[in-house]
Amino acid sequence: MLTGLSSLFDGFSLLPSALQYAFVVAFGLVIGSFITVVVHRLPTMLERGWEAGVAEYLKDRPDASAATRPKGAESEEPRQFDESQPPPPPASPYNLMHPGSHCDACGHRLRAWENIPVLSYVLLRGRCSQCDVPISPRYLLIELASGLLAALAWWRFGAGWPAVAGFGFAAVALALTCIDWETGLLPDVITLPLLWAGLLINLSPTFAILSDAVIGAAAGYGFLWCVYWGFWWWRGVEGIGHGDLKLFAALGAWLGWSGLVQVLVLSSVTGAIVGLLMLATRRMRRDEPLPFGPFLAIAGCITLFAGTPFWPSLPLYGSGAFGG
Kindly list the residues in this chain that would bind Zn ion in the complex (CB under 5 A).
103, 105-106, 108, 128, 130-131
CA distance linking residue 257 with residue 133, whole number of Å: 48
- H or E stretch at 7: helix 2-12
Among residues 251, 250, 299, 255, the alpha carbon closest in space to that of 274 is found at 299
Rounded to the nearest whole angstrom, what is the least distance from the CB of residue 104 to Zn ion in the complex?
8
Amino acid identity for residue 220 in this structure = G
Rounded to the nearest whole angstrom, what is the least distance from the CB of residue 126 to Zn ion in the complex?
12
CA distance linking residue 181 with residue 284, whole number of Å: 12
Rounded to the nearest whole angstrom, what is the least distance from the CB of residue 15 to Zn ion in the complex?
40
Nearer to Zn ion, 135 or 165 (CB): 135
Rounded to the nearest whole angstrom, what is the least distance from the CB of residue 136 to Zn ion in the complex?
12
Residues 250, 191: contact at Cβ < 8 Å? yes
List Cβ neighbours of 6 (8 Å cut-off, separation of 6 or more).
160, 161
Nearer to Zn ion, 110 or 209 (CB): 110
Nearer to Zn ion, 59 or 102 (CB): 102
Strands (E), the chain: none
Rounded to the nearest whole angstrom, what is the least distance from the CB of residue 74 to Zn ion in the complex?
47
Nearer to Zn ion, 110 or 284 (CB): 110
Nearer to Zn ion, 59 or 108 (CB): 108
